[in-house]
């Protein structure tokens, strides 16, 4: 059993912090969410519960594609967390997602603060805050230089 666990753990990001593991976890959840957007409208209609009739198969597939792109960016960042450009792109992915969900709630009125919207808001805002406060540790000039020197 220990050997299997060692093999599984060897595929996780190998940096010393937890942020990269979080990014990989969020990426995996996003892949599931992306797939469900191609299979059913139910979960997407929960997010946009004020106007569920506006969730069509086309909008759901578009949302699923966008979500999958975000999953790729976040997985790539999980394994390249010391790359400042990748780190920043990942941060932007959370900022854009957060902006989308807040605007659908407060501007367009298609979403309301409930079960479908709370999760995405918490993940996007907390991930963005975490990445913002830890940027120097993971992708700052001193961090990158130290990692390059040790390589």
Write the burial class of residue 25 (CB in 10 Å: 0-12 exposed, 13-18 middle, 19+ buried): middle
The alpha-helical segments, DSSP class H, found in 1-56 are: 2-10, 19-39, 42-47
Collect all residues with Cβ–Cβ distance below 8 Å to 76 and sequence separation of at least 6: 86, 90
Q: Global pTM?
A: 0.87
136 sits in the region (left: phi over 0; alpha: psi -120 to 50; else beta) called: alpha
pLDDT digit of tens for each residue in the chain (151 aa)?
788 877 777 777 888 789 999 999 999 999 999 999 999 999 999 999 999 999 999 999 999 999 999 999 999 999 999 999 999 999 999 999 999 999 999 999 999 999 899 999 999 999 999 999 999 999 986 565 666 666 5
Predicted pLDDT of residue 143: 63
Rg (CA), the chain: 17
Residue in 93, 102, 78, 62 with CA at minimum distance from that of residue 28: 78
Angle at 19 between CA 14 and CA 23, to 5 degrees: 90
Task: Return the beta strands (E) in 7-130 as ranges.
Answer: none
């Amino acid at each position: 059993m220990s050997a299997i666990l060692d093999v599984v753990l060897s595929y996780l990001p190998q940096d010393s912090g937890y942020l990269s593991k979080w990014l990989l976890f969020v990426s995996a959840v996003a892949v599931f969410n992306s797939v469900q957007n191609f299979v059913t409208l139910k979960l997407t209609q929960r997010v946009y519960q004020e106007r569920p009739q506006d969730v069509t198969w086309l909008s759901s597939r578009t949302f699923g594609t966008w979500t999958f792109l975000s999953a790729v960016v976040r997985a790539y960042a999980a394994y390249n967390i010391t790359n400042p450009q990748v780190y920043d792109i990942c941060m932007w992915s959370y900022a854009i997602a957060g902006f989308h969900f807040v605007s659908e709630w407060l501007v367009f009125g298609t979403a309301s603060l409930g079960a479908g919207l709370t999760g995405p808001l918490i993940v996007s805002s907390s991930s963005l805050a975490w990445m913002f406060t830890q940027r120097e540790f993971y992708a700052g000039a001193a961090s990158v230089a130290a990692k390059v020197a040790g390589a």
